[in-house]
Amino acid sequence: MGFARKKIALIGGGQIGQNLAMLAAMKELGDIVVLDIGDFVNPIKGKALDLMEMAPHGNYDANIVGTGDYADIAGADVVIITAGKPRVAGMTREDLLATNIAIIKDVANGIKTHAPKAFCIVVTNPLDAMVYAFYKLTGFPKHQVVGMAGTLDTARWRAFIAMELGVSVSDVAGTVLGGHGPDMVPLPRLTTVGGVPLAEIATKEQIDKLVLRTREAGTEIVKLFGRGSAFFSPAWSAIIMAESFLKDKKRILPGAALCEGEYGINGLFIGVPLMIGAKGIEKIFQIKLTDEENAMLQKTAGVVKNTVAETKL
Ligand code: A3D
C-alpha cells in the first residue's frame, strides 16, 4: 500500500537544504528526497532519518530520505536547487560563478534525466545567472523554472520596516524587483503598512536607510557568519514558492522569471512579480514604474546581463 503524496526533491543538503526538508515536513507538503554528493551523502541520510524521528513530536506524516542517487528523485513534483557554494566574508555573489556553474551543469543533467516534469526553484548564487544557466541547460519550458530571490528580498524589506517602525510584520506589504544583489529595487512607493502608505508612516531618512539595509541584507549576515550565508529565511522563501505551486495557491510573489519583453527586458531571468500556481509561473505582472524606478530596474538588468554573459551559455 503506497501513499499518493506529492514529492519534493531537494538538490543540496547543506544549510538551506536541511531547513527546506524540515519546513516541507512540518508543512506536510509531501514526501521528501534530499540529494547530496560524495562525503555529504551519508550525513544527509542521517539527517533525513533524524527528521523521520522528529515526526511524532512534529506531528507530520512524510517519508524523508537522503540519497546520492538521482534515480531517487524520479517523479518529483517540485525540485529546489541549493547545490553550490555559499559566500564567505568579503566575497560577492558573482565570485561564486565559476564554481557554481559547474555544479549547476551536473544538477541540470540529473534533473532533466530523472524529473523532467518538475517545477524547479533555483536558489544557488549568483542567482539570476544560475537560474538562467539551469533553464538553458535543461531546455525546460520557461513557466517550469523560477529563481528564488525576490521572495527573500521582500521578506527582508518587510522585516526591516517592521523592526524600524515597531509594527507587526504581518501588516507590512510590498515588493522588491530586480537582480539579487546590491542594485535590487525595493519599491517604497508601493509599500503599505496596514493600508497606510509607507511614505506617510516613515520619514525619507528612514526609508532610505531601509532600502540600503535591504540591498545589503545578505552581506550583513555573511559578515556576521564569517563563513556561509543566510539559510532560515532563504529556506522559508523557497518553501512558500513550492507550496504555492503544490497547492495551486496562486500567490503573487516576486521571483526570477524569464522576461521576454516585460519591463523592456529580453532574454534574462530577473526578479518580477509572478503568480505561482499548479502550472508553475502562470503570470508575470508588469507594474507601471516611475522613470526613476525604471532606471534602477534597467541598471540591475545590466548587471545581471554581464553575469549571465560569463556563463557562456
Ligand atoms: P551549503 O551549506 O554549503 O550547502 C550546499 C550543499 O550543496 C552542500 O551540502 C554540498 O555538498 C552540496 N553540493 C555541492 N555540489 C553538489 C552537486 N553537484 N550536487 C548536489 N549537491 C551538491 O550552502 P547553503 O545551503 O548555505 O547555500 C546554498 C546556495 O544557496 C549557495 O550558492 C548560496 O550562495 C545560495 N543562497 C542563495 C540565496 C538567495 O536568496 C538566492 C540566499 C542564501 C543562499
Indicate if the pLDDT at residue 282 is higher than 70: yes
pLDDT tens digit string along 95-139?
999 999 999 999 999 999 999 999 999 999 999 999 999 999 999
Question: pLDDT tens digit string along 49-71?
Answer: 999 999 999 999 999 999 999 99
pLDDT for 243 equals 98
Lowest mean pLDDT among 88-92, 190-194, 210-214, 217-221: 88-92
* pLDDT the model gives residue 3: 82
> Could you tell me where in the chain the CATH 3.90.110.10 domains are found?
150-311
Report, at the CATH architecture level, how domain 7-149 is classified: 3-Layer(aba) Sandwich (3.40)
2 band by pLDDT with thresholds 50, 70 and 90: confident
Q: Which residue has its alpha carbon closest to ligand 1 atom 31?
A: 86
Atom of ligand 1 nearest to the CA of 93: 34
Q: Is the CB of 83 under 6 A from ligand 1?
A: yes
List the residue whose alpha carbon is closest to atom 9 of ligand 1.
14
Paired with 79 in beta bridges are 9, 120
pLDDT greater than 80 at residue 239: yes
Max CA pair span of the chain: 62
Q: What is the 154 CA–ligand 1 centroid distance (Å)?
A: 21
For 150-311, CATH number?
3.90.110.10
Provide the percentage of residues in the chain whose pLDDT is more than 90: 99
Please count the residues of the chain. 313
CA of 147 to the centre of ligand 1 (A): 14
Residue 88: is its pLDDT beyond 80?
Answer: yes
| Residue 43 burial by Cβ neighbours in a 10 Å radius (0-12, 13-18, 19+) | middle
Residue with cell 557554494: 85
Q: What CA–CA distance (Å, rounded) separates 267 from 49?
A: 42
What is the predicted pLDDT for the residue at 27?
98
Q: Which residues of the chain does CATH 3.40.50.720 include? A: 7-149
